[in-house]
Amino acid sequence: MYPGPAGSGMLLFMAVAPTGGKGPTMLTEWMQDLADALGVDLASVGDAELVDLILDLARDAAHAVDRPAAPLTTFLVGYAAAQHGGGRACLAESAAAARDLAAAWERRSSTDRPGDEPPDGHRTAGGIAES
């Protein structure tokens, strides 16, 4: 981590380029600029651990569900965290729920075969059971 702007009392995470480069990367700069534009205190959630959690969640949703699920999942996780009070704990809880659901979808998709009926007998539309 490195100190944020002088006098801000903020610490920013340092993203390291996948090639092993050192120093802040474009991702770090993007996150800071976006946080500023949105009026978000990056110091409250912008550490490397939480960034990794969100990136891993996006990857898991993309692989377990479908690629477009990645941005939708991260959006809904952030939205849910905000509706439940915000902060690190709410974000981590929302991310854990989404990660568990993605894992369940992945397990389900590995056992489903085209034309199979769901166990409860309901047909599905887009993977969502219709009542």
pLDDT digits over 25-65, tens only? 888 888 889 989 999 888 776 678 888 889 999 999 999 99
Give, in order, the Cα–Cα distances in Å from 86 to each of 68, 116, 131.
25, 41, 33
Residue 17 main-chain phi, psi, to 5 deg: -60, 145
pTM for this one?
Answer: 0.64
* CB-based contacts of 14, cutoff 8 Å, min separation 6: 1, 2, 23, 24, 28, 48
Question: Quick one: pLDDT at residue 45?
Answer: 66
Question: Quick one: pLDDT at residue 46?
Answer: 64
